[in-house]
Structure 1
Amino acid sequence: MTADERALGAWVSAYLRASVTLARETVRIGPFLASFSSADPIRFLNYAIPDDGAVPTSADVAALTDAYHQRGRLPRLEYVPAAAPAVEAVLVAAGWGVEGRLPLMVLPASTPVDGEPPSGIELVAPASAADLQATVAAQNEAYGEGPPGPDGGAGIGRTIEHGGRVVLARVTDGGEAVGGGLFSKPQDGVTEISAIGVRAPFRRRGIATGMVRWLAREARLVGATTVFLMAESAIEEGIYARIGFETVGEMLHISRAPGPASHGRD
């Protein structure tokens, strides 16, 4: 592991810990910062982050697992393995399973992010509770999750309240919501573009590309100097590379189901 990889892991981890503390309930469990969304059980809003250099015990992992199960949430971690290389083996030994190893991509500060949305689609900042709810519903559908509860938009509403931005993609004629994405308030100039989702009938039209560009522009306007994201497939990595993002490392998603280990966009 190089010094650059360790440094990358450290600043991404610091950003993740700061952003979840702003947006969600957090609990310190051993060397983990666990975050929980009371409004939405979607796994991407409920996960823990290990401390840099963490070496958890089996008791730490058991306590973390119980904390998520008690809240009706899937025990998960999202983190940069370069920042905490000892964690994965302990989790796997406890029955956790790797969901994916996602390319970690950074947008160079000099890269332009101009561009218009596809014809017939508009990209807007949600302006009402109904807009927030529609954004989350579109994201959940894109990720194969169930519809949000009555207060499902509350979580991304807090993202906006705390200085982040949310984008809603919708059909220009009629306003049907087709996708969404967001970034949290930059921390020391760093922010992550995340939760980019497009409903299946509207994919392969460049909507995800348009949303990422919109969010990157907004992030720079509010002071972000380092904008990063994670690609969930080689196809997405190629899409984001065409925007100008460069792969610089890896993010690990790993989880544990209640029983045996369990294991969209443009």
Structure 2
Amino acid sequence: MHSETIRSLQSYIRTTAAKFRETERIGPFLATYYLEATSPFLNYAIPDDGAVPTRDDVAGLTRAFRERGLVPRLEFLTEAVPAAEAVLVECGYTLERRVPLMICTPDQVVEQPKPAGISMVTPKSADELRKMIRAQNLAFGETDPDQHLDPSPDQLSGETMSVMAIAESGEVVGGGVATAILDGATEVAGIGVIEGYRSRGIAAAMTEYLTREAHARGGRSVFLTPGAGQAERVYGRVGFETAAECVHLSVQVSGAGVHQDDGPHA
């Protein structure tokens, strides 16, 4: 992929990670902290493009996360910061996973079959959004799916695009979002389908729905990072193609590994 596009996507990820979070500049790193939850997937740092961090830089970053009771963790595109991973590993960081970054341009999107008995709806009210978020919580195996149901201001305004899948019974069985468009880029995320409704093409249909909406609003680079399992294949059917690599690194707690979120449950 063209280096300018890589830089643009990394800039987008850095900007959106800082929204609704506390941030701290630590050497060549931007640390982002989500004040309402300690999940490592909501608290992580992103290095500056082209940064070559020193061991002191990394030590400062590790210390800042530990002082907050958080797992020291980073997410970034390897092509944007090619020298960072080696230094971080030397300083005790462990590779969690390498995640393909997939992109779908307007001329790539593929129409998906309509799942039988399922309607795709844009939630507009706070109550509808809470039902969608609860379905996502269920899909991702949250221990208490009724926690953290309040939608973000961007979701309420519609700047963040949302979709929910509704069964004929009226039950919301899935949901997903596409983040607010910034410089032509938007990320499809949180695609989840509750157990009992998977393998029906619902995840692919929601992804197509959001992707077309993002393109209609002027999004040129609609991207996502699939989880493990079948997610990459599902997104490939919609027209997404792997264009870059996102790396996740963290300092593992002695005797325990960091929980691996396996991404969209299709």
Q: TM-score, structure 2 length as denominator?
A: 0.84
In 2, are the aligned partners of 1:102 and 1:230 still within 8 Å (CA)?
yes
Question: Can you list the C-alpha shifts for 1:16-65, whole angstroms capped at 9, x where unaligned?
Answer: 11222334332222211222222344443332211101112233223323
- CA distance in structure 2 between the partners assigned to 1:170 and 1:116 by the alignment: 16
Correspondence 1:65 to 2:67: no
Alpha-carbon distance, 1:245 to partner: 1.2
- The amino acid across from 2:265 in the alignment is R
In 1, are the aligned partners of 2:124 and 2:158 still within 8 Å (CA)?
no
- CA distance in structure 2 between the partners assigned to 1:11 and 1:114 by the alignment: 27
After TM superposition, the structure 1 = structure 2 runs for residues 1-266 of structure 1, keeping only pairs within 5 Å, are 4=1, 6-115=3-112, 117-147=114-144, 150-154=147-151, 156-161=152-157, 163-175=159-171, 177-233=172-228, 235-259=230-254, 262-263=257-258, 264-266=264-266
- CA distance in structure 1 between the partners assigned to 2:180 and 2:105 by the alignment: 19
Determine helix, strand or coil for the equivalent of 1:201.
coil
Question: Can you list the C-alpha shifts for 1:152-208, whole angstroms capped at 9, x where unaligned?
Answer: 434x44455482212222323132x32222121111111111122222332211111
Question: Cα gap change, 1:212/1:148 in structure 2, threshold over 3 Å: closer, same or farther?
Answer: same
- CA distance in structure 1 between the partners assigned to 2:126 and 2:70 by the alignment: 25
- CA distance in structure 2 between the partners assigned to 1:54 and 1:192 by the alignment: 24
- CA distance in structure 1 between the partners assigned to 2:163 and 2:207 by the alignment: 9
Alpha-carbon distance, 1:215 to partner: 0.8
Question: Cα gap change, 1:131/1:72 in structure 2, threshold over 3 Å: closer, same or farther?
Answer: farther
In the alignment of these two chains, the number of paired residues is 261
- CA distance in structure 2 between the partners assigned to 1:81 and 1:200 by the alignment: 34
In 2, are the aligned partners of 1:20 and 1:26 still within 8 Å (CA)?
no
In 2, are the aligned partners of 1:35 and 1:46 still within 8 Å (CA)?
yes
Identity %: 41
Q: In structure 1, what is the equivalent of residue 261 of structure 2?
A: none
Two-structure CA RMSD over aligned residues (Å): 2.6
Question: Can you list the C-alpha shifts for 1:66-112, whole angstroms capped at 9, x where unaligned?
Answer: 33344444332221101101111222223222221111111122134
Unaligned runs of 5+ in 2: 259-263
Question: Cα gap change, 1:150/1:130 in structure 2, threshold over 3 Å: closer, same or farther?
Answer: farther
Question: Cα gap change, 1:114/1:165 in structure 2, threshold over 3 Å: closer, same or farther?
Answer: same
In 2, are the aligned partners of 1:22 and 1:162 still within 8 Å (CA)?
no
- The amino acid across from 1:82 in the alignment is E
- The amino acid across from 1:39 in the alignment is E
Q: TM-score, structure 1 length as denominator?
A: 0.84
Unaligned runs of 5+ in 1: none
- The amino acid across from 1:163 in the alignment is E
In 2, are the aligned partners of 1:27 and 1:34 still within 8 Å (CA)?
yes
